[in-house]
């Protein structure tokens, strides 16, 4: 006993320990009970304390208080046997009470005692953590006991104890050790809740307490399959197909994406992003796991990053010909409602959302600080740029920033005071405009005053920002008719939707509108209000029997093309108008023969009455007739030239007093739907006249086929050939100085008011991977169109040195880029299709991705009118990631499946 006391650290395992000086008993007591390192010190959250059996500790107290080291009260080795249920699993007994069953010692005191007295052989130390619950610290005597199982073997759980302040990462590491999972294998955890369902333990950095894990809960660890999928995501019925996929071995990355229903836009964006080498390597090597940001309020709780990682791992496993991105689509719709459902969307918009979502989910900045934006205020550009980039990185630091973010220099100049504002702003991609033609092709129908001539279809080239008068001038070159004798109207549903004035803009006319240009008389007097001719809008209507209770009511239905007819002011009577209109309709309306004459029973009871004179004749109205109300708005300019017509007009026809009328005339509203008996001159209203036909008379005398006939002018066979533009021109246009629009003025800090300043963007810092979005879709208040201009872009050596100011001449590789992917859009605005060209990072071979179909292509197939979003890799980054391929290699094999033909017919 004395020997042990003289060297209390001696144990059976250390028969000849090195002898050291043993502290005195009083020194031992002070060491254990002092308030700095002993049991009286306050608890601190996170530190370890140890349980010591109460009886042994009391014996030790008696021993050290006795003052004799060879006393019979020597306690011997620390023995906690009374605290355990058994000596196999070493589980603590339930209901142990501090001060009755055990005492607590801090780590330093415990190791001091173990060093002096030793621990009973085979017994584990009872180490417990200090946790903070509801603001108070306490030693967690009974830790959380979890049951760990593998997804592949749910029947044999392993018990493991964890403190409430232990991280979920420790639980995962413990499970990996118990189940002998290899380091390269990726694993994740699920916990079974009280309802019996399983929930993911996504954030492994939170504690067991924060995850609300309780003793006895089942925690399942699953291991990612070699084909990149998780066992939990495989339906039971799909196990066979999954086995077939695992047996398949192809080129990693050459994997299609199934179209779930108008999701080609998403597939195209994903294929492009998947072929960015450094980003894909980041996910394949699991570097994202350490950077998942689950608490970012601007992020998506890491779910978008995890969904994208799953997609990349499957596509690059080499075990799939095609995968179904259903889970990814669901996640996108959950966080971005605009992508819910299965409508067609824009691949660039999806790409923008995805890059932003991945950035926030992987943002290394856990708590964003407030950063005040500072103007240059005369400081050197490099100083301001460096400050702006550092401020950006203080709030935004992720693999997306490392890969895709660059820096703009924005210069604003006030037009009044000349104040110059210089700022530097980050960007993720360049949206460059296409050089747009200032010309526009419009199709119109020309209706001559000569009734023998059919309407002519013309294709006219006019200024895109021109006026109605420009349309008339262009048509005059084809017809020889003076623009002053033309009126332009939009015809819709057999009526005049609008009659245009000469000074109105052409932007109000859509490509789908049916535009008719009518030849009218140019005769007018000097005085505006005493024109010799009046232009009358004429509608055609047919009486149709309507179903009424007595079948006696007749409705009126519009048909055919309306007319604008010039009528001499001195012949404004119903009878004269009847004969004028009969003459204008003579090409497709047959005049009655002598056999058709009656005995004087004329239906036109108002034949000799005058038409109510309009208060505002054609040419003088400033109103625009619409569906509900219309005015003349002829836009006919003054002039004295009369129409050249050698045909006998109605005034030369032999007149008979008793001739049967084919139709009746009626004044109507602008829609032709309701009759008007008279017009008040004070209303300044334009009279609309309807030609009403009885069904039998229309069938007998009206030739519908001839009435609808028209001829095509030679110009219809020609279109403007769109010359290709170079990508360099688009970038030059992007960096060209422009004046701000009225809707988006700049507040000048010097003038203290909003100004239409001049703005210029310059490229200051370029990213490793540069995304260039070609702005093919044009949207205005009046029109929406897609520009199918061919943009010529280089596959190699795209040089930005002349666009970056200032650039480092000693490092030209910082400004040269090679193409790695292209998102294509085929078709129009409403019915388009997206595909992808991409260069595989491992093989260097280009492939064409069309949803779940993938085929190799040659480089000369990549450039087309469908190119929409371009991905360029900086050459120094490419050399860093992979050595340059041998340019002496034979050319790529011809494509197995050719991409769709993108050539549209161009005729000179």
Q: Hey, which residues are catalytic here?
A: 264, 833
Query: Would you list the DSSP string of 791-805?
Result: EE--SS-EE-TTTBS
Q: What are phi and psi of 289, to 5 degrees?
A: -60, -35
What helix, strand, coil percent values describe the chain, rounded to 5? 25, 25, 50
Query: Would you list the DSSP string of 334-380?
Result: HH-GGG-TT----HHHHHHHHHHHHHHHT-S-SSPPP------TT--
- Residue appearing with tokens 């004799």: 68
Q: Do 318 and 252 form a contact (C-beta atoms < 8 A)?
A: yes
Q: What is the 3-state secondary structure (H, E, C) of 870-882?
A: EEEEEHHHHHHHC
Minimal CA–CA distance to 314: which of 241, 249, 227? 227
Q: What are phi and psi of 2, to 5 degrees?
A: -65, -35
Sort strands 322-323 and 256-257 into parallel, antiparallel or unpaired.
parallel
Question: What does the longest C-alpha to C-alpha distance in the chain come to?
Answer: 155
d(CA 594, CA 679): 37
Sort strands 753-755 and 746-748 into parallel, antiparallel or unpaired.
antiparallel
d(CA 195, CA 443): 68
Q: What is the number of alpha carbons within 13 Å of residue 514 lying toward its C-beta?
A: 12
Q: What is the 3-state secondary structure (H, E, C) of 558-575?
A: ECCCCEEEEEEHHHCEHH
Q: What is the 3-state secondary structure (H, E, C) of 249-283?
A: CCCCCCCEECCCCCCHHHHHHHHHHHCCHHHHHHH
Beta-bridge partners for 198 = 192
d(CA 435, CA 421): 28
Sort strands 791-792 and 784-786 into parallel, antiparallel or unpaired.
unpaired
Query: Strands, DSSP E only, in 378-419?
Result: 406-413
d(CA 507, CA 492): 18
d(CA 558, CA 538): 11
Beta-bridge partners for 774 = 432
d(CA 774, CA 796): 18
Long-range contacts of 441-444 (CB under 8 A, 24+ apart): 441/719, 441/720, 442/471, 442/506, 442/509, 442/511, 442/515, 443/515, 443/716, 444/471, 444/475, 444/488, 444/515, 444/516, 444/517
212-241 burial: b if 16+ Cβ within 10 Å, else e: ebeeebebbbbbbbebbbbeeebeeeeeee
Q: Do 12 and 120 form a contact (C-beta atoms < 8 A)?
A: no
752-779 burial: b if 16+ Cβ within 10 Å, else e: eeebebbbebbbbbbbbbbbbbbbbeee
Residue 123 to residues 78, 116, 120, 288, 794: CA-CA distances in angstroms?
9, 17, 6, 41, 73
Minimal CA–CA distance to 844: which of 804, 872, 809, 884? 884
d(CA 353, CA 357): 6
């Amino acid at each position: 006993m004395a020997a042990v006391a003289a060297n209390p650290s001696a144990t059976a395992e250390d028969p000849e320990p090195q002898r050291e000086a043993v502290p005195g008993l009083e020194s031992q007591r002070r060491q254990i009970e002092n308030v700095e390192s002993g049991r009286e010190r306050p608890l601190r959250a996170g530190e370890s304390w140890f349980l010591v059996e109460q009886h042994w500790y009391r014996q030790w107290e008696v021993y050290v208080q006795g003052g004799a080291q060879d006393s019979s009260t020597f306690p011997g080795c620390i023995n906690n046997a009374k605290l355990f249920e058994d000596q196999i699993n070493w589980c603590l007994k339930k209901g142990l009470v501090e001060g009755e069953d055990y005492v607590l010692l801090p780590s330093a005191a415990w190791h001091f005692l173990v060093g002096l007295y030793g621990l009973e052989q085979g017994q584990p130390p009872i180490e417990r953590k200090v946790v903070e619950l509801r603001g108070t610290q306490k030693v967690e005597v009974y830790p959380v006991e979890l049951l760990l199982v593998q997804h592949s073997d749910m029947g044999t759980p392993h018990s493991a104890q964890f403190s409430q302040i232990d991280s979920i990462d420790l639980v995962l590491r413990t499970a990996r050790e118990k189940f002998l999972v290899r380091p390269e294998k990726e694993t994740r955890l699920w916990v079974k809740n009280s309802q019996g369902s399983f929930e993911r333990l996504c954030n492994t950095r939170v504690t067991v307490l924060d995850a609300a894990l309780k003793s006895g809960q089942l925690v399942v660890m699953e291991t990612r399959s070699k084909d990149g999928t998780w066992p939990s995501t495989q339906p039971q019925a799909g196990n066979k197909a999954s086995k077939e996929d695992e047996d398949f071995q192809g080129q990693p990355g050459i994997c299609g994406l199934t179209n779930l229903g108008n999701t080609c836009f998403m597939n195209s964006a994903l294929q492009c992003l998947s072929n960015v080498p450094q980003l894909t390597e980041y996910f394949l090597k699991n570097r994202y796991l350490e950077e998942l940001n689950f608490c970012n309020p601007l992020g998506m709780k890491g779910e978008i990053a995890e969904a994208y990682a799953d997609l990349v791992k499957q596509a690059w496993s080499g075990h799939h010909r095609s995968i179904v991105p259903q889970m990814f689509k669901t996640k996108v719709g959950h966080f971005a409602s605009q992508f819910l459902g299965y409508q067609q969307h824009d691949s660039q918009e999806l790409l923008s959302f995805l890059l932003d979502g991945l950035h926030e989910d992987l943002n290394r900045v856990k708590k964003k600080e407030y950063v005040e934006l500072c103007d240059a205020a005369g400081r050197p550009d490099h100083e301001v740029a460096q400050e702006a980039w550092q401020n950006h990185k203080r709030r935004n630091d992720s693999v997306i920033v490392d890969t895709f973010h660059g820096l703009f220099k924005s210069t604003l100049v006030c037009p009044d005071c000349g104040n110059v504002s210089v700022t530097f702003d980050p960007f993720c991609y360049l949206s460059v405009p296409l050089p747009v033609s200032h010309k526009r092709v419009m199709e119109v129908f020309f209706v001559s005053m000569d009734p023998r001539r059919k309407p002519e279809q013309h294709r006219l080239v006019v200024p895109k920002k021109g006026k109605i008068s420009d349309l008339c001038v262009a048509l005059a070159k084809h017809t020889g008719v003076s623009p002053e004798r033309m009126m332009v109207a939009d015809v819709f549903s057999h009526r005049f939707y609008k009659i245009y004035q000469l000074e109105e803009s052409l932007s109000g006319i859509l490509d789908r509108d049916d535009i008719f240009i009518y030849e009218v008389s140019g005769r007018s007097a000097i005085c505006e209000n005493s024109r010799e001719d009046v232009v009358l809008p004429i509608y055609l209507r047919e009486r149709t029997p309507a179903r009424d209770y007595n079948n006696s009511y007749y409705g009126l239905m519009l048909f055919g093309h309306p007319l604008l007819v010039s009528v001499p002011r001195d012949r404004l009577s119903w009878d004269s108008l009847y004969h004028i209109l009969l003459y204008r309709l003579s090409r497709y309306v047959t005049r009655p023969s002598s056999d058709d004459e009656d005995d004087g029973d004329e239906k036109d009871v108002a034949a000799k009455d005058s038409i109510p004179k309009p208060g505002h004749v054609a040419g003088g109205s400033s109103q625009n007739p619409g569906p509900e109300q219309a005015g003349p708005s002829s836009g006919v300019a003054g002039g004295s030239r009369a129409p050249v017509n050698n045909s006998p007009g109605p005034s030369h026809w032999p007149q008979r007093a008793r001739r049967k009328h084919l139709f009746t005339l009626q004044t109507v509203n602008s829609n032709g739907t309701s009759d008007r008996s008279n017009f008040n001159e004070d209303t300044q209203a334009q009279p609309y006249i309807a030609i009403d036909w009885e069904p039998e008379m229309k069938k007998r005398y009206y030739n519908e086929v001839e009435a609808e006939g028209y001829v095509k002018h030679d110009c219809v066979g020609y279109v403007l050939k769109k010359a290709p533009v170079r990508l360099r021109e688009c970038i030059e246009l992007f960096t060209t100085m422009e004046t701000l629009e009225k809707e988006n003025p700049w507040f000048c800090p010097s003038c203290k008011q909003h100004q239409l300043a001049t703005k210029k963007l310059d490229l200051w810092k370029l990213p490793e991977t540069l995304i260039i979005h070609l702005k093919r879709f044009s949207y205005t208040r009046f029109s929406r169109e897609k520009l199918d201009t061919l943009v010529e872009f280089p596959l190699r050596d795209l040089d930005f040195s002349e666009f970056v100011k200032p650039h480092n001449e000693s490092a030209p590789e910082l400004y040269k880029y090679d193409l790695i992917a292209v998102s294509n859009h085929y078709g129009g605005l409403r019915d388009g299709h997206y595909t992808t060209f991409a260069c595989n990072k491992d093989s260097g071979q280009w492939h064409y991705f069309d949803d779940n179909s993938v085929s190799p292509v040659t480089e000369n197939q990549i450039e087309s009118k469908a190119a929409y979003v371009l991905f360029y890799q900086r050459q120094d980054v490419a050399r860093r990631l992979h050595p340059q391929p041998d340019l002496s290699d034979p050319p790529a094999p011809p494509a197995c499946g050719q991409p769709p033909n993108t050539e549209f017919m161009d005729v000179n």
